[in-house]
Amino acid sequence: MNNEEKYPENKKSLLDEACKIVYLNYGDQAAQLYKAGLKDKAEKEILSSLEKSLKELVGPEHAEEQLREMREKLSK
Amino acid sequence: MSKKFLSLVIAVFFIAVLLTYLSGDYESLANQLWNLIPPFFAAVCGVFAVRVYSMNNPHAKAIAFMALGVFFWFLGDFIWFIFEFFLNKNPFPSIADYFYLLAYPLLLLGLIVELKSNKLAWTAKKIAVGSILSLLLGIIVIYLGMIKAYNPADSALDNAIAMAYGIGDLVLIIFTMAILMVVVGYRKGKLFYPWIFILAGFLLILTADVLFAIYREQYENFLGISRNIDLGWISGFLFIAFGFFNIGNAVKEARNKLLEND
């Protein structure tokens, strides 16, 4: 089973980890608003919009490093 | 304030400074006032970036330390200005040097916090490039900013203060090069150019510091290269201001876009 297939079982963890990334890169207020807006989102949607936005802000190298770390945490 | 408007303000300000510096009365009180605006403006732009991230954020803490360091440089400049134009005393050495020198640990702290807040993998290539650049620039700073700054005719205190700047610049160079390696990872991202502006600003200021250490007497008497030294500091602070503002602006825009999508 790859990581993406595992996400549905771990939506809470995914939300927490995604919010940590938003907090680190976009600030505290953004993380709170982001978390509130995620409740009804599908896991893939959460990841793809975050990945796109993060790549635009910090560039592919930093974005991939942070997302890789997140996926590692979620797969544990 | 938009990015274009800020760029225009900075460009107009810099051209005005250039024209003033090329005019005959460079050493007048009104013209020397120019020197005080850029470091203060850079600190204000730093506060803007900190507010966008909010204070608990590690990047905000890093920028806050750097902005505080830049503010200390402004305080040093302000005290220098008072000594020179109102007290008619030689500002070097004076209490202004405490503020100039106190800025270094704050700037270093900012760079260290920024380094720690990034999760970029340190490859052997990045370590090698960062080390070589630090070594090359470090040798220049040690030779020009410390060895050449020593003047046997000056008192031990004067020499110690002059060389303390060299040590501060040397440590700042090493961490600036380390941050450069992190910033290279921002390529194709909106934070890349703002950080490049900040690092270029630091390098301009450090270059002006080294020139000041070598040509201190000329500078104190408004002779020769002194205008270029001032221009180095002024453009350095303007670069930092532009960088800080654009970090805040980029994060704000990206945040709004991300939240809109949700």
pLDDT class for A10, splitting at 50, 70, 90? low
pLDDT at B42 over 90: yes
pLDDT class for A2, splitting at 50, 70, 90? very low
pLDDT class for A3, splitting at 50, 70, 90? very low
Q: What is the mean pLDDT of chain A?
A: 83
- Minimum CA–CA partner of A29 in chain B: B54
Q: Which two tokens stand for residue B237?
A: 């602070």
Which range has the worst mean pLDDT, A5-14, B94-103, B145-154, B219-228? A5-14
Q: Nearest CB to A65: which of B60, B121, B262?
A: B121
Contacts of B258 in chain A (CB under 8 A): 22, 26, 30, 34, 49-50, 53
Quick check: A27 and B187 CB within 8 A?
no
- Identify the top-confidence range among A42-46, B8-12, B159-163, B245-249: B245-249
- According to the 3-state scheme, what is the secondary structure of chain B? CCHHHHHHHHHHHHHHHHHHHHCCCCCCHHHHHHHHHHHHHHHHHHHHHHHHHCCCCHHHHHHHHHHHHHHHHHHHHHHHHHHHHCCCCCCCCCHHHHHHHHHHHHHHHHHHHHHHHCCCCCCHHHHHHHHHHHHHHHHHHHHHHHHCCCCCCCCHHHHHHHHHHHHHHHHHHHHHHHHHHHHHCCCCCCCHHHHHHHHHHHHHHHHHHHHHHHCHHHHHCCCCCHHHHHHHHHHHHHHHHHHHHHHHHHHHHHHHHHHHHC
Average pLDDT (B213-228) is 82
Percent of chain B with pLDDT over 70: 98
- Minimum CA–CA partner of B252 in chain A: A26
Q: What is the mean pLDDT of chain B?
A: 90
pLDDT class for B136, splitting at 50, 70, 90? very high
The whole-number pLDDT of residue B249 equals 95
Per the structure, the count of domains in chain B is 1
Contacts of A56 in chain B (CB under 8 A): 189-190, 254, 257
Rounded distance between C-alpha atoms, residue A29 and residue A38, angstroms = 15
Per the structure, the count of domains in chain A is 1
The model carries a pTM of 0.90
pLDDT at A9 over 60: no
- Minimum CA–CA partner of A58 in chain B: B189
The whole-number pLDDT of residue B131 equals 93
Range of the domain at B35: 3-261
The whole-number pLDDT of residue B26 equals 67
pLDDT at A60 over 90: yes
Range of the domain at A37: 3-75
The whole-number pLDDT of residue B219 equals 83
The whole-number pLDDT of residue A7 equals 46
The whole-number pLDDT of residue A5 equals 47
Average pLDDT (B220-246) is 90
Which range has the worst mean pLDDT, A35-39, A47-51, A66-70, B176-180? A35-39
* Total beta-carbon pairs less than 8 A apart between chain A and chain B: 88
Q: Is the ipTM of this complex over 0.90?
A: no
Q: Nearest CB to B189: which of A34, A50, A56?
A: A56
The whole-number pLDDT of residue B128 equals 93
Quick check: B119 and A61 CB within 8 A?
no
B109–chain A Cβ distance below 8 A for any pair: no
The whole-number pLDDT of residue B78 equals 95
Contacts of A21 in chain B (CB under 8 A): none
Average pLDDT (B172-179) is 91
Quick check: B189 and A22 CB within 8 A?
no
The whole-number pLDDT of residue A4 equals 46
Distance from CA of B234 to the nearest CA of A (A): 28
pLDDT class for B187, splitting at 50, 70, 90? very high
Q: Nearest CB to B56: which of A28, A30, A62?
A: A28
